[in-house]
Amino acid sequence: MTKFYLMTTAGLLAMAAAPATAQVSLPAEPDPLVAVDVDLSTGALLGDQSVLDAVVEVGGGELLDVYLGLLEGSTGGTNFQLLDGSILTALETLGGPELVSAFESLVGTTARTADYVTDQSNSATQDSILSATANSVASVNATAASIGNSYALDAAANVVADLAQINQGYGTSSVATVYNAVSEVTETAASIGNTGSFNADGALLDLSIDQNNLGGQTSNLVTIQNMVAEATSTAASIGNSLAVEMPGGSKLTAAQSNSGTMIADLTGMIASTVDYTATAASIGNSYALTSLDSGIAGNVSSSLNQWNGAGQIAKVTANIAASTNAAATAAAIGNSVSINVE
């Protein structure tokens, strides 16, 4: 345990006018002084002048105030910026992995933790229908989406979240379009039983997630296109979808179970188009994880179980003429996991 002293009054710090080149100066005789005990078993000094300067260079005076509050143990949950990759990189440059570890430990013990418990249950039917005609326009974006349960969390403070979703309803999404002389087209028919999205750039997450889909999901898309420069058509049916982006040091335990049949059907009649992409995707369970700043903060802890007990059907019917580039994909997937470590 290392003890150092840090002034906390308004006269503690003097910074240069320009934030990009701001410097921090401690007075020769600070008054009053606050004793701060920080576990620095590695010998790294979180209150060293070079560390304070680095905090200012990364986030200016406001971030420095939050950082000083951390050292005092009185941040009140306003430390959402402190696990940003830029400040972790600066600390690693100054003191190596040991300084980063000591800093993360300090953030973890003083940060406010928000606790969310959410249960979602749907047993009704969802139908979305879209018909569109466009002629001589710059761009078109058309979407029909049917979703049983949807949850999204964008975290600024450390979060503990328990999410349970159960969907028994059937979802159907239908898109029918006719385009002529359009520069850019994006169209989607999507039916999803349960969807969850978690995002945190500078806060630790501790997640427990249970998704259970029993209802069939169907997406149909029919499009007729002539003289379209760039077009993307997508029909997607998913039982359970979970997407998580969080920094290293976070934890996730999840379970996905699907027993509903997924059907995605896309029909396209395309003429005189430069670039056309058609995708029909049926997925029982889908999980995508991105671990941020893992090279500095370490990887996340992820535990996932997926069960799929129903069929997936994906179909693309494409009639393409006098076009430059075209790509068509039909994908039927029971369980899908994607992990990206940054």
Express each pLDDT in 56-96 by its tens digit. Answer: 776 677 677 767 766 655 555 445 566 667 777 777 777 77
With beta carbons less than 8 A apart as the criterion, state whether 299 and 247 touch.
Answer: no
Cα–Cα nearest to 279, from 331, 230, 319: 331
How far CA 224 is from CA of 3, 25, 256, in Å, comes to 72, 68, 37
The pLDDT value recorded for residue 12 is 38
Domain count, the chain: 2
In a shared domain, residues 158 and 89 = no
In a shared domain, residues 98 and 120 = no
The whole-angstrom distance between residue 76's C-alpha and the CA centroid of its chain comes to: 25
Distance CA 5, CA 30 (A): 9
| CA atoms in the 13 A half-sphere facing the CB of 124 | 6
Distance CA 332, CA 217 (A): 13
- Name the one residue in this structure whose structure tokens are 């590695």: 42
Cα–Cα nearest to 238, from 306, 301, 136: 306
In a shared domain, residues 161 and 12 = no
In a shared domain, residues 229 and 298 = yes
What average pLDDT does this structure show over 280-294? 91
In a shared domain, residues 25 and 161 = no
In a shared domain, residues 118 and 104 = no
In a shared domain, residues 107 and 183 = no
In a shared domain, residues 193 and 214 = yes
Structural domain range at position 283: 114-341
Amino acid found at 204 = L
Query: What number of other Cβ atoms are within 10 A of residue 246's Cβ?
Result: 28
Q: What's the pLDDT band for 126 if we cut at 50, 70, 90?
A: very high
In a shared domain, residues 126 and 167 = yes
Helix (H, G, I), strand (E, B) or coil at 49: helix
In a shared domain, residues 182 and 48 = no
In a shared domain, residues 39 and 140 = no
Please say which residue of 89, 111, 133 terminates a domain.
111
The pLDDT value recorded for residue 89 is 77
List beta partners, residue 187.
142, 233
What is Dmax (Cα atoms) for the chain? Answer: 81
Q: Is the pLDDT assigned to residue 239 strictly greater than 80?
A: yes
Please say which residue of 83, 111, 139 terminates a domain.
111
Determine whether 27 is exposed, middle or buried from the number of CB atoms within 10 Å of its CB (0-12, 13-18, 19+): exposed
List beta partners, residue 190.
145, 236
Cα–Cα nearest to 169, from 197, 143, 149: 149
Rounded to 5°, the CA angle 71-73-76 comes to: 120
The pLDDT value recorded for residue 297 is 58
Please say which residue of 111, 144, 175 terminates a domain.
111
- List, in order, residues 6 or more apart from 321 with CB less than 8 Å away: 270, 271, 272
In a shared domain, residues 186 and 293 = yes
Which range among 1-10, 15-24, 112-121, 177-186 has the greatest average pLDDT? 177-186
Say if pTM beats, i.e. exceeds, 0.85. no
